[in-house]
Amino acid sequence: MSGEDPARGTEPPLWRATVPVFDATLLRMDATVARAAAILGETVTAALEQRPASGMLPAGRQIATAVQFTLRIAYPLAGRRAPEVRGGFDAPGLRARIAESRALLADLPSGDFGGAEARRIRFQAGFADLELDGEAFLHAFGLPNLYFHQSMAHVALKQAGLRLGKADYDGIHDYPEDFSLG
């Protein structure tokens, strides 16, 4: 998704709300995994096995779940079945999942998102079988789940000793290395 498209702004609203946003989120997750591997070295495996809390998925699975959610959200909005990206839960496997998901999202034609706001989408949330229009699917289900799993991975990696902050999470904030709110 490099460079600016001169036609930007003419794409359907739910394409603009998903594909470029998800690409940026995937890039931040990739940078976090790469940073974890570079800083933690061989202990990155243990960090990716860290759980944010008892009974929750470990960081590596949280990342894989967040990555899959980008496809699980965008593809139905485009009227397509979401592909499942597979791979390991180690740093190279997660980075490969992220790269594949970015490529799959980049290949989605923006025109397929035309009328997505009203498109009826059937999906499963836990054990619940649901159906929502595209706009509700994105805002009430998709985005909260994507950001939940990204956040839980962020927390677990911090608990494992990786120094992460808001800038690592959202790519917007900027704080000095030793800055603390506490």
What are the structure tokens assigned to 88, written together?
């390991």
pLDDT tens digits along 114-151: 999 999 999 999 999 999 999 999 999 999 999 999 99
Would you say 15 and 110 are in contact if contact means Cβ atoms under 8 Å apart? yes
Q: What's the pLDDT score for residue 168? A: 87
Task: DSSP letter for 87, please.
Answer: -
Q: What pairing do the DSSP bridges indicate for beta strands 120-125 and 128-133?
A: antiparallel
Domain regions of the chain by residue span: 13-168
Task: DSSP letter for 113, please.
Answer: G
Geometric angle at alpha carbon 66, from 65 and 72, rounded to 5°: 85
Q: What's the pLDDT score for residue 8? A: 59
Class of domain 13-168: mainly alpha
Given a cut of 70, the residues of the chain with pLDDT beneath it are 1-9
d(CA 9, CA 160): 41
pLDDT tens digits along 149-164: 999 999 999 999 999 9
